[in-house]
Structure 1
Amino acid sequence: MATLIKPPPADASKSPIESVLELKQLTDIDPGIFTNTRPLWHPPGARGIYGGAVIAQCLAAAQRTVRDDFSVHSMHCYFVLAGNAEIPIMYHVEKVRDGRSFATRTVQARQRGRPIFTTTMSFVRENSGGAERVEHAVDMPTVPGPSEDLDIPQQDNSPFQSQRIHILNHESGRPQDKKTRQWIRARGKISPSGGHQAHLSALAYMSDSYFIGTVSRVHRLWRFSTSDKDGKSTIDSSVLEKLRDMDDDTLRRMQGMDEDVIMAIRNMKDINSEEQRRPEVGMMVSLDHTIYFHSPRNFRADEWMFTEMESPWAGDGRGLVLQRMFTKDGELVATCVQEGVVRLKESKSKADVSSKL
């Protein structure tokens, strides 16, 4: 059973992302316990449910336990176990502290009594920074804006949209110099009843999109298998022809299309050929996730936001990624950090040697 209670009918006044993140407060058991009201998405090939959903629902639960004039400013999370999409999640909120200017909450997401995710959040009272303030922020880079009229294939069940921009410094031999960039927004319109809290939860949900995957992109690793066990291409020829008919900007904005895949399509080469072959990701999962919210009430998650990601370090089977999120007008609204496991799939020759030892 994916939910503890039967999912309620969809509310037409709310956006898809509000529906996905809807929680039920189990007041009769404990006012600090919440549960998901709808099944959570398990991405194809992933070890568990989409991490952004658990991040966002933990935030949504905590927000319901603080005063309305308090807003989250930082969130530090750890992924403990892979979440099971077939089992309800119980969110346990602990009120750690309620001060004059700051409040602290911890939330533990559990399945079958075991923690799968834990987070600590700090909330700040609105306008508590004083009349005179120290202020600065980095500028948003100059990039092409999002397109409103491109008919871009998206996952039908995704509550948000994204459009990728070319990787900055893609030709560099130094992965740490590259930056992956995209425009992103929640589908539809977030309802007024959701308040600023709904926009913060939506941002948290979207912040996990292709986050640790940045490491694979700057290292030009295949993030999916391009051939079956017999070495035959897994890409249908008719699909490949349709992709070849699209321009580069359209391809770039499609999920899963990085510069090297586009180049392979343009040159009409088999991506399974020796010259196109690259190392494949064997395992890639998030370990932790941090969000600093800079302007918690000055943005709308259902309007285009620009995100830029870079990886300053990778090693010992792990990688680190930094992300900045801006409004379309250039205001920095969040800075995120994530570390994850990034392991390569063993080549067939090495696997054969290992099996004979």
Structure 2
Amino acid sequence: MSTLIRPPPVNESQSAIENLLELTQLSDIDPDLFTNTRPLWHPPGARGIYGGAAIAQTLSAAQRTVPKDFTVHSMHCYFVLAGNADIPIIYHVERVRSGKSFATRTVQARQRGKVIFTTTMSFVREGSGGEVKVEHSTEMPDVPGPVEGMDDLDHGGGSTGPFQSQRIEILNNDSLSPHTKKTRQWMKARGRISPSGGHEAHLSALAYMSDSYFIGTIARVHKLWRYSALRKGNSKSSIDEELLKKLLAMDDESLKRIKFMDESDIQRIRRLKNGEDLREHGKPEIGMMVSLDHTIYFHNPRRFRADEWMFTEMETPWSGDGRGLVFQRIFARDGTLIASCVQEGVVRLKQPSESKL
């Protein structure tokens, strides 16, 4: 059973992402306990549920425990265990502090009594900074705008998924220094977020989307193969298996029209079609890539809509010892910087002793 209580019918007055992230308050047990109202998405081949769901739902739960004039400005998250999409999640909010200007909340996500995800977040009272402020902001780069109907293929759920995304060509993609490259994309929630959701719904949607392709930036700037091949006789799904099936069915011209496909990716698709062993060409393959932690700083939390196009830019200053670090900036389409994010994750290569493709 993937939910504690039978899910209600889809609320047609709300967007897909609002329905997906809906919480049920377990007030008969404890007013600070919540659970997922609807089943959560387990990406094909992933170790557990999509991490953005845990990020967004813990934020949604905490937002229910602060006054309306308080808004989240930072959250620091740790992925502890892989979430099981077949088991309900219980979210427990701890009211650490409720001050005049700031409030602190800690939320634990549990399954079968074990913590799978934990976050501490801070909320600030609107207008508490005073009339005169110290202000500055980095500028949004000049990039091509989004194109309707050109969504990336590898976002879970296809045309019915809760949000849309479009990748832009990697900046400095031919550089020999991975840390000088920047991966970029446009994204927005699908449909229209309802007025009843308030700014909280837009913040939760942004939190959900912030995990999209995040730690994968390291694989992209190193031009490492990110789509494991289909293995005969192996019942366990490989990472991005459904996407790989689509890519293998395409011809070269179709592959070239996909913005997120690098030339090195296209060459590997050709080799897979020919039945070649990719490792014979001397290029390593990602063996494991999972998020360890995730931090979001919200800069203008009431000055954007998550159902309108937002631009994200990611870069990685370091990777080593089986881990990597990625920075992300998120802008509203008008250039307003709305969030800065940081993520560290496990990034391990397949080792020579591991079985071949």
Structure 2-normalised TM-score?
0.90
Distance 1:259 1:191, change over 3 A: farther
1:294 aligns with 2:302: no
User: How far off is 1:49 after superposition?
Assistant: 0.6
Tell me if structure 2 keeps the 8 A contact 1:252–1:262: no
1:261 aligns with 2:269: no
Which residue number corresponds to residue 167 of structure 1?
170
1:294 partner amino acid = H
Distance 1:266 1:328, change over 3 A: farther
Which residue number corresponds to residue 340 of structure 1?
345
User: How far off is 1:258 after superposition?
Assistant: 3.4
Which residue number corresponds to residue 325 of structure 1?
330
Distance 1:202 1:135, change over 3 A: same
Which residue number corresponds to residue 252 of structure 1?
259
Tell me if structure 2 keeps the 8 A contact 1:220–1:278: no
Greater shift after overlay, 68-77 or 145-154?
145-154
1:258 partner amino acid = D
User: How far off is 1:280 after superposition?
Assistant: 1.2
Tell me if structure 2 keeps the 8 A contact 1:164–1:181: yes
User: How far off is 1:262 after superposition?
Assistant: 4.0
User: How far off is 1:226 after superposition?
Assistant: 3.3
Distance in 2 of aligned mates of 1:7 and 1:186: 22
Which residue number corresponds to residue 141 of structure 2?
141
Q: Secondary structure at the match of 2:106?
A: strand
1:188 aligns with 2:183: no
Tell me if structure 2 keeps the 8 A contact 1:244–1:265: no
1:210 aligns with 2:210: no
Q: Secondary structure at the match of 2:123?
A: strand
Tell me if structure 2 keeps the 8 A contact 1:322–1:338: yes
User: How far off is 1:246 after superposition?
Assistant: 3.0
User: How far off is 1:125 after superposition?
Assistant: 0.6
**Runs of 5+ unmatched residues, structure 2:** 234-240
Distance 1:288 1:101, change over 3 A: same
Q: Secondary structure at the match of 1:199?
A: helix
Tell me if structure 2 keeps the 8 A contact 1:77–1:120: yes
Report Cα offsets for 1:303-351 as digits up to 9, x if no partner.
000000011000111000000000111111000000011111113xx44
- Give the RMSD, CA atoms, in angstroms: 2.4
1:106 partner amino acid = T
Distance in 1 of aligned mates of 2:41 and 2:202: 20
User: How far off is 1:178 after superposition?
Assistant: 0.8
Report Cα offsets for 1:157-200 as digits up to 9, x if no partner.
52011000001111111111111100001000000000000000
Which residue number corresponds to residue 316 of structure 1?
321
Which residue number corresponds to residue 9 of structure 1?
9
Q: Secondary structure at the match of 1:252?
A: coil
Q: Secondary structure at the match of 1:196?
A: helix
User: How far off is 1:78 after superposition?
Assistant: 0.5
Which residue number corresponds to residue 355 of structure 1?
none
Report Cα offsets for 1:236-278 as digits up to 9, x if no partner.
9996574423374x4015xxx3342246679999585568662
User: How far off is 1:282 after superposition?
Assistant: 1.0
Tell me if structure 2 keeps the 8 A contact 1:60–1:201: yes
> How many residues end up aligned between the 2 structures?
343
Q: Secondary structure at the match of 2:208?
A: helix
Report Cα offsets for 1:183-233 as digits up to 9, x if no partner.
001000000000000000000000001111111111111112236369xxx
Tell me if structure 1 keeps the 8 A contact 2:291–2:343: yes
Tell me if structure 2 keeps the 8 A contact 1:107–1:118: yes
Which residue number corresponds to residue 46 of structure 1?
46
Q: Secondary structure at the match of 2:258?
A: helix
Distance in 2 of aligned mates of 1:267 and 1:55: 38
User: How far off is 1:118 after superposition?
Assistant: 0.5
Distance 1:287 1:268, change over 3 A: closer
Distance in 2 of aligned mates of 1:26 and 1:189: 28
Which residue number corresponds to residue 237 of structure 2?
none
Distance 1:237 1:146, change over 3 A: closer
Which residue number corresponds to residue 18 of structure 1?
18
Distance in 2 of aligned mates of 1:340 and 1:55: 15
